[in-house]
Structure 1
Amino acid sequence: MTIHFRITSLSILVCASLAAFAQTSSKHSTDLPLDPAVRTSTLPNGFTYYIRHNEEPKNRVIFYLANKAGAILETDEQRGLAHFMEHMSFNGTTHFPKNELVDYLQRSGVRFGADLNAYTSFDETVYQLPLPSDQPELLQGGLQIMRDWAHEAILDPVEIDKERGVVLEEKRLRKGAAQRMRDVYFPLILNHARYADRLPIGVDTVLNHFKPATLKSFYQDWYRPDLQALIVVGDINVDEMEKSIKAKFSDLKNPVNEKIRTIYTVPLTGKNQFITVTDPENKNIAAEILIKHPEEPLRSAADYRNFIIRSLFNEMLAARYAELTRQADPPYINGGATIMNFINSLDVYSANITARPGELEKGMKALWRETIRAARYGFTEPELERAKKNYLNLVEFSFKERDKTVSNHFVNEYLQYFLKGTPAPGIAEEYRLTQMDLPTITIKDINAICKTYIRPVDRDILITAPEKEKAGLPRQATVESWLAQVEGESLKPYKDEMSKLPLLSHEPVAGKTVKEESDEILHTTTLTLSNGVKVLLMPTDFQNDQIMYSGFAPGGSSLYSDADYPSAAYATAVTGVAGVGNYTASELQKYLSDKQAGAGAEISEHYQTVSGGCIMKDMETALQLAYAYFTEPRIDKPLFDGFVRRNKASLANMANDPNVVFADSANAIWNQGSMRRSGPTVAKLDQINPERALEIYKERFADASNFTFVFVGSFKIDEVKPLLEKYLGGLPSTHKAENYKDLGIYPPEGRIEKTIYKGAASKATVRLAFSGKFDYSPAEKIQLEALQEVLQIRLIERLREDESGVYSPGVGQMVTKDPDPRYMFTISFGCAPQNVDKLVASVQDEINKLKISGPPQINVDKYKAEDKRSRETALKTNIWWFDYLVTTLQNQDDLHELTTYDSDLSKVSPASLKAMADKYLSGENFIEMVLLPEK
């Protein structure tokens, strides 16, 4: 279960969809029509439903139950109970008492948290349930769950008291600098509206002491059919589903004395406000300028055109700020500005920076200068044309993929349509409107946006900083004077510089295919090119126009000394800030803005890699990028110096954050203090030699003969083969046949316990790790995954449901094959400091049970059901096959190992997992790390 906030820290969440600019005004005659592919109606009791047939993925359906009831409707005595009610829907309903609902769904292959979930926001509570649709009884079970969630929660006082601990632990996880500062500035930036004191997580006094009757009162008032909608999208029969919904939900009744569902707003005052907030654990000095504006309507075709205009404005403005960040002497660590939805009835122009220490004035002036430049001079025709082409490309891509669109996408569209009235006309209509509107949008239309949103009233300035910076923070008059100074400057219009050179400084000399092999089982083709490059091709029809690729060779930073390591580790960053081929980094962004192609280089510990993706028409561009990253890296010393300054500034106050300190301590222990496995530090940045970094980069990519490329997606081999021969076959080769080195960096042997004291919040973080050598095989990997899952299931039952001591315990495992087969098995959770020893003992008790008698058969069955169902859909995606092929090739495993998967899975049993627990959870090599607040 999760809580959704519209506002987090200094930033406001941006939706990359129409919902970003939606508003809740009443409908009128020019409204865009609802997508005709969805069937919708409202029952006499006010209950609404949306049903759509969609076969991506096949044999799956997604149910969403939406309630227009969130934290904003709570009384003072109910603060936090909208979210608490969400929890209770999983803890006992008419047809699924106590925790039977989760148990029932896990046995059906649905994972709690990952699949089965819910969220509570200010204005709504939404439940989600994905199910297999090829079992009629399970489909009907899903409808019964939706009915139970709609208004059949039992609200047993015993279960309520048990769940208090879980909700309080969820709240505990949020404690820290961000929460403490937000509590201070929220009332101001929300103009002291009701939203400011209705955060969905609630308050301790209510959560600890509310009476069950108070929760029931909220439930009776607001969980009612006229505020609810059921959304069903998937591989189902729409007619039959509609009949079932009518039969199941028509008898729901609204309360006799219905409370009015008030629509709350944040009023505009016309005033400008200012606030500074500090905290000892805050890492950065940040500033945000928020200019509030009434929310723009998005209902009609005319509104849609305005939505496109705002989207183009945001894209062009973001490009300018990104370019500013890439300067040789960037004025801040990062920054940007955008128009977005603020909360409910308001939009906002938000300009924000993370400042370098001691340079808040410089950063804020630079931030405001670009805003004023845009307001004063507007944008240029080339900028607009690039933005238009990019926007059209994205909409066109969605249109082409319309028959491959996953059900989740449709569910979210109809959810926003119900909750906020956001248009959901369907991609065909959006594509038609885009084609119609884009040619008519002019620079004048774009520049008018500035006059609307960049205005001198309803402006808030928010500055957050570490506590130690408090004395040096400016007052409101000082900051206002900075902005006024910028407004008084004789600014020059933005100069749009775009290279007219080709991407590559020279054309490659094409190679040839010297060998071609087909795999009839995997339906792949492997080409060996004349320079030694191997290319594995897997054409698929999972998407209509998507290609993913990666080329890799062994070696990486492992081949360099500790003295050279910083230069090797940052080599791709050093070259990346300078660009590639004939283009600087900024020129490259402009060049690619109207193309759907991308690539990048990486040097990891064991591999050097060039990876990217594209659509078919931009395949040549993607391969040109790959060729350029191999043969034409650039270096720019001033840009490198700017990169180092920005990164040093971002590290200045990292030690303030307890989580960073804890993670660094854990890494130091798990990796025996190796600087190669630790995070970024100022010392590492100081050790980077840019010339040596470029030299190492060239060494890593000088020999393509050891590279293997994998391409997965919608392409025809005969069409891509000439391009592959030209750009990959033309890569340089020395046939050096390198391999990576075993650096011997492994977790220490024996038992280690370490407690870190850092932070003020009353919370603890626990990480337990088992490690050692692994008997590597496909079957053994499956057994370890099963052990992970059955322990995860049991820890949720024990630590969360039985003991109410944690919110979400996590169990993880990682296996590496080369250079030495190893495993790490981890368990982590957050809790109250006083409960650490008790909960660690409970974990150890559950592990001992596994070692003594193995897991219950039911938990093994749950794992197999979940794995089977998730695998069915994963096998129909490009990303699964891409990851599988790359990982299997890097491990030099048999590409056909998946053919034995089902038989290996069938061998998982309580006895096999008992043996695995004995073998890998013996505790012989065990690390216990605990983070506690400072005493």
Structure 2
Amino acid sequence: MRKLILVLLNAVIVAITVKAQVLRIDPAVRRGTLPNGFTYYIRHNEEPKDRVVMYLVNKVGSVLEDNDQRGLAHFMEHMEFNGTANFPHNALIDYLQKAGVRFGADINAYTNFDETVYQLPLPSDKPGLVDTGLMIMRDWAQNAMLDSGEINKERGVVLEEKRLGKGAAERMQRLYWPVLLNNSRYAVRMPIGNDTVLNGFKRPVIASFYNDWYRPDLQALIVVGDVNVNTIEQDIKRMFAGLKKPSHEKARIKYQVPLDGKNRFVAVTDKEMTVAAADIIFKHPEQPLKTETDYRKYLIKNLYNQMLAKRIDQLSRQATPPFLQGGASIGGFIGGLSMFDVSVVAKPGELENGVKAVWREIERVKQFGFTQGELDRTKAAYLNNVESQWKEKAKTNSESFVREYQNYFLKDIAAPGIDKERELVKTFLPAIFLADVNALSAANITCHDRTILLLAPDKEKEVLPSEVVFTSWINTVQAEKLTPYQDDISNKLLLAQQPVLGKIVEEQKDSATGTYSYLLSNHVRVILKPTDFKNDEIIFTGIKPGGTSTATDAAYESAALSADLVNSSGAGNYNETELENYLADKQTNVIPFMQPESEGVNGNTTPKNLENALALTYAYITEPRKDKEIFDGIVTKSIAALANRSSDPNSLFSDSVRAILYNKNVRKAGPSLEKIKQLNLDTAITFYENRFRNVNGMTFVFVGAIDTTTIKPLLEKYLGGLPSHENIEDAKDLGIHIREGIVNKNVYKGTEPRSTVLLVYSGLMEYNPQNVVRLDALKETLEIRLLERLREEESGVYSPGVFVSSSKYPQGRYSFVVQFGCAPQNADKLIASVQDEIDKLKQSGPLPQNLEKWRAEDRNSRETALKTNGFWLRYLSGQVENKESISKLNDYTKIRDKISVADIQNAAMTYLSGLNYIRLVLLPESKLTSR
């Protein structure tokens, strides 16, 4: 009896301990459940200010569909935008656009196997709009009208969305998906659905799905933003308490992918597949993340993944890389499973070599484990990242909180908040040892529940290995006598030579933008924009005119590669691997760039690591490394990537578009063996050094948490010490632009009944702020109409896009592009509809309500953007590049608010005249043979 009591007592103690370890949800979020089962999460957050995001999350996805409903979970998502009790037909989109919310970009939704999620970001400072947002959520929860006419109109839209996904990847997935998913229900419930069902279902079938599954016990509303939590909670209780469960409630089965202990092998080929690839997937039961113990395991897994990724990435830096891409990681899968996935994209004819190379590193880790240095660096970087998130906790974007609460509701993943996570990381990280991390290899590389998946072009079908042969490759590597990994650590200083100190010779402050400008003694200009948008972020760019325009045609390919080559080779005393290790705990990234008309560097760092970032900037500019092994590796992989490129319809169309738009100019052509043969290491490095040998005319822009006092000596040391002389070499006008005149061209490639349409208008323009804003207004108002007509009225496309770009140098020019995918037989009709809408714009301008929609959308997005570091960096560097005053920020708002219907009509007549018009259409090969 005493023994039994002790056993029971121990069981109680264990239960209490486990319960105490359960990670409670972040106390900053208000969570509740109504009597009908409806759940809500509300959090006040002011990033961004005066904005709120609402998500309706449903534990409802395609896995719940009956056989006659396949695709209707996703179709139901579409129908929520096509008529609800309070917003019949398309009134919802119209209302939200007028409120400044963009369809697709802001208001959106997605459907997966197990969930359907609707998102709605709104201004929270406009009276009544938040209440209307809750009404929309209430309508989505249970008030969809499912009008038969709207259903029939939406069939075409959904089928066009399905058409966009057709191709080699989709065809092959249909064949290997049942094998990979052990013939589970997930294998036959792809969210996009079945053509027969989508074309033929009647209203009662989708209504049955809606009534069965859109119910309060499977739903949650997440509201995060600049709102009053108490008020929102009362509104939710009032508005959502009336949601009803169905009278005959179906059980919400939690479907699983069963583990049966068997190993599987599947090889699939396709004529349009461009590479041979292999995945070795070990399936395991999904690990929970609910308790502190789970969190420790989660940390160990992340450390393991990061170290393993770096090991495999180093293989790609060899002179003859063994693969095009390689990777391995532990991660989530589907149907209650996680997986350890080892992947290889092989060079042509080298699948065996690629697989063995990656597996060799997997086996090396399994046999010898990671080094203490690898673990120490990875732990330090992890801790720094968490500390940075903690410092930014008051600046965290609302969307980040939404994702946490969504996972908490859907997947029961703990959401304790950054305060608790920081505490856990600081507690657990020091006590995670090599043995903890190294144990994951044996735990995940098992002899059962393994699937080997091979994907390849049709022409390689006969040489693909059998399961026996493939397994022998693995066994061969396991039998090799491997040696432990050698950690590549350097004790040298980053810089071979320290900079010669420069001086700030001129200072100015611009009160309109809150910026500080400095001129250094070497003619480098620096603009600082201190902000409080982030507590631990500084982003910057340094830019100088010139770029590849200064290279000869013969040297162009090498010049265009030069910055990427330098970035891949390291800087100063460190090669790329040594530099990566050096920067592991420094939260600093600097990347040199070489563009057609400019060169420079982009970077991001933290206030603590600013000097590291500036030192690295100095190293990339003055001490680039010349690494033949890296160069040879780039060339080898580039050649290998070309082998089957022409088999892919999208790649062929892209190359054809470039050739046609730029009249076969060598600098604009797609990749080719001839271009790769022009690459030369010495030419690339010499060009790079010449472009950065003189920084006269270079401007650096820094934005973020800047201390204007402490940064000055750093600017003088690292930027003031850059080499300079009096001459300034500007970019050259090579006369490269989209060709003039009218071109009508079809490109035939591919087997799927799918077309891509590209309509291009271009030409000279008088570049000024007024015309740039008019172009944007023209673009947006046309896109609104094309969405209404091509999608909603004609059901011919899924998502038409309109894109505009303009440039001041070397000439004032613009391009205006309309793009969409469609059925081949509908291409001409839809192009005619586009032209008709353009003609209407030229004849009478846009509808006034569409102009106001653009204005509201732009006002809404700009108000938010103005409070981000990214906006200010783009604005300031853009003004510098265009040689414009940085004090013109407020001009934009004045111009936008004065844009009239007549302005857009004139813009349409000017920019869409049709004098320079290129019509390009990708059609399937069957159309070519049927002509």
TM-score (norm 2): 0.97
Name the counterpart of 1:210. 201
Bigger drift between 74-83 and 495-504 goes to 495-504
Amino acid at match of 1:684: K
Q: What's the % identity of the aligned pairs?
A: 53
Equivalent residue runs for 1:188-267 within 5 Å: 188-267=179-258
> What is the CA distance between 1:410 and its match in structure 2?
0.6
SS of 1:451's equivalent in the other structure is helix
Q: Contact conserved, 1:672 with 1:746, CA < 8 A, in 2?
A: no
Is 1:63 aligned to 2:77, yes or no? no
Equivalent residue runs for 1:769-780 within 5 Å: 769-780=760-771
The one of 544, 567, 580 equivalent to 1:553 is 544
Name the counterpart of 2:476. 485
Amino acid at match of 2:907: M
The one of 166, 173, 182 equivalent to 1:175 is 166
Equivalent residue runs for 1:465-614 within 5 Å: 465-614=456-605
Name the counterpart of 2:362. 371
The one of 631, 654, 668 equivalent to 2:659 is 668
> What is the CA distance between 1:650 and its match in structure 2?
1.4
> What is the CA distance between 1:575 and its match in structure 2?
2.6
Q: Contact conserved, 2:31 with 2:41, CA < 8 A, in 1?
A: yes
Name the counterpart of 1:13. none
Question: Over residues 344-397 of structure 1, what are the superposed CA-to-partner deviations in whole Å (9 max), with x where a residue is unaligned?
Answer: 311111011110111111111111111111111111110100110011011111
SS of 1:684's equivalent in the other structure is helix
Name the counterpart of 2:904. 913
Name the counterpart of 1:760. 751
> What is the CA distance between 1:506 and its match in structure 2?
1.3
C-alpha separation between the residues in 2 aligned to 1:141 and 1:574?
Answer: 53
The one of 447, 466, 469 equivalent to 2:438 is 447
C-alpha separation between the residues in 1 aligned to 2:745 and 2:671?
Answer: 22
Name the counterpart of 2:352. 361
C-alpha separation between the residues in 2 aligned to 1:844 and 1:557?
Answer: 37
Amino acid at match of 2:34: L
C-alpha separation between the residues in 1 aligned to 2:572 and 2:173?
Answer: 45
SS of 1:536's equivalent in the other structure is strand
> What is the CA distance between 1:895 and its match in structure 2?
1.5
SS of 1:717's equivalent in the other structure is coil
Is 1:393 aligned to 2:384, yes or no? yes
C-alpha separation between the residues in 1 aligned to 2:520 and 2:511?
Answer: 21
C-alpha separation between the residues in 2 aligned to 1:462 and 1:714?
Answer: 48
Bigger drift between 38-47 and 666-675 goes to 666-675
The one of 826, 831, 847 equivalent to 2:822 is 831
SS of 2:128's equivalent in the other structure is helix
C-alpha separation between the residues in 1 aligned to 2:889 and 2:498?
Answer: 41
Amino acid at match of 1:545: D
The one of 105, 109, 113 equivalent to 1:114 is 105
Equivalent residue runs for 1:847-866 within 5 Å: 847-866=838-857
Amino acid at match of 2:419: A
Bigger drift between 648-657 and 310-319 goes to 648-657
The one of 122, 146, 150 equivalent to 2:137 is 146
C-alpha separation between the residues in 1 aligned to 2:565 and 2:77?
Answer: 48
Question: Over residues 583-616 of structure 1, what are the superposed CA-to-partner deviations in whole Å (9 max), with x where a residue is unaligned?
Answer: 1111111111111111111111111111111001
Q: Which runs of 4+ in 1 moved over 4 A?
A: none
Name the counterpart of 1:383. 374
Is 1:306 aligned to 2:304, yes or no? no
> What is the CA distance between 1:645 and its match in structure 2?
0.4
C-alpha separation between the residues in 2 aligned to 1:811 and 1:65?
Answer: 29
The one of 337, 341, 364 equivalent to 1:346 is 337
Is 1:725 aligned to 2:716, yes or no? yes
> What is the CA distance between 1:831 and its match in structure 2?
0.4
Q: Contact conserved, 1:706 with 1:735, CA < 8 A, in 2?
A: no
Name the counterpart of 1:693. 684
Question: Over residues 773-812 of structure 1, what are the superposed CA-to-partner deviations in whole Å (9 max), with x where a residue is unaligned?
Answer: 1121111111110000000000000000000000000001
The one of 872, 889, 893 equivalent to 2:880 is 889
SS of 2:222's equivalent in the other structure is strand
> What is the CA distance between 1:463 and its match in structure 2?
0.9
> What is the CA distance between 1:28 and its match in structure 2?
5.7
The one of 17, 23, 31 equivalent to 1:40 is 31
Amino acid at match of 1:841: A
Name the counterpart of 2:868. 877
Name the counterpart of 2:63. 72
Q: Contact conserved, 2:806 with 2:814, CA < 8 A, in 1?
A: yes
Question: Over residues 80-102 of structure 1, what are the superposed CA-to-partner deviations in whole Å (9 max), with x where a residue is unaligned?
Answer: 00000000000000000000000
> What is the CA distance between 1:896 and its match in structure 2?
2.1
Is 1:623 aligned to 2:614, yes or no? yes
Name the counterpart of 1:279. 270
Q: Contact conserved, 1:231 with 1:414, CA < 8 A, in 2?
A: yes
> What is the CA distance between 1:324 and its match in structure 2?
1.2
The one of 146, 149, 159 equivalent to 1:158 is 149
Bigger drift between 746-755 and 105-114 goes to 746-755
C-alpha separation between the residues in 2 aligned to 1:505 and 1:533?
Answer: 22
The one of 44, 50, 54 equivalent to 2:45 is 54
Amino acid at match of 1:674: N
The one of 791, 795, 803 equivalent to 2:794 is 803
Name the counterpart of 2:13. none
Q: Contact conserved, 1:778 with 1:897, CA < 8 A, in 2?
A: no
Unaligned runs of 5+ in 1: 1-26
SS of 1:706's equivalent in the other structure is coil
C-alpha separation between the residues in 2 aligned to 1:442 and 1:540?
Answer: 40
Amino acid at match of 1:67: N
The one of 311, 314, 326 equivalent to 1:320 is 311
Q: Contact conserved, 2:23 with 2:416, CA < 8 A, in 1?
A: yes
Amino acid at match of 1:757: Y
C-alpha separation between the residues in 2 aligned to 1:272 and 1:487?
Answer: 18
The one of 612, 623, 633 equivalent to 1:632 is 623
Amino acid at match of 1:95: N
> What is the CA distance between 1:573 and its match in structure 2?
2.9
The one of 407, 417, 427 equivalent to 1:416 is 407
> What is the CA distance between 1:29 and its match in structure 2?
5.7
Q: Contact conserved, 1:574 with 1:640, CA < 8 A, in 2?
A: yes
Amino acid at match of 1:546: E
> What is the CA distance between 1:839 and its match in structure 2?
0.3
Q: Contact conserved, 2:564 with 2:592, CA < 8 A, in 1?
A: no
Is 1:867 aligned to 2:876, yes or no? no
Q: Contact conserved, 1:765 with 1:930, CA < 8 A, in 2?
A: yes
> What is the CA distance between 1:187 and its match in structure 2?
0.5
TM-score (norm 1): 0.96
Unaligned runs of 5+ in 2: 1-17, 927-931
Name the counterpart of 2:670. 679
> What is the CA distance between 1:706 and its match in structure 2?
1.8
Bigger drift between 490-499 and 217-226 goes to 490-499
Name the counterpart of 1:16. none
SS of 2:282's equivalent in the other structure is strand
Q: Contact conserved, 1:281 with 1:657, CA < 8 A, in 2?
A: yes
SS of 1:384's equivalent in the other structure is helix
| Aligned alpha-carbon RMSD (Å) | 1.0
Is 1:406 aligned to 2:418, yes or no? no
Name the counterpart of 2:705. 714
The one of 809, 813, 835 equivalent to 2:804 is 813
Question: Over residues 651-697 of structure 1, what are the superposed CA-to-partner deviations in whole Å (9 max), with x where a residue is unaligned?
Answer: 21111110111111111111111111223322222111111111111
Q: Contact conserved, 1:88 with 1:153, CA < 8 A, in 2?
A: yes
SS of 1:818's equivalent in the other structure is coil
C-alpha separation between the residues in 1 aligned to 2:726 and 2:593?
Answer: 21
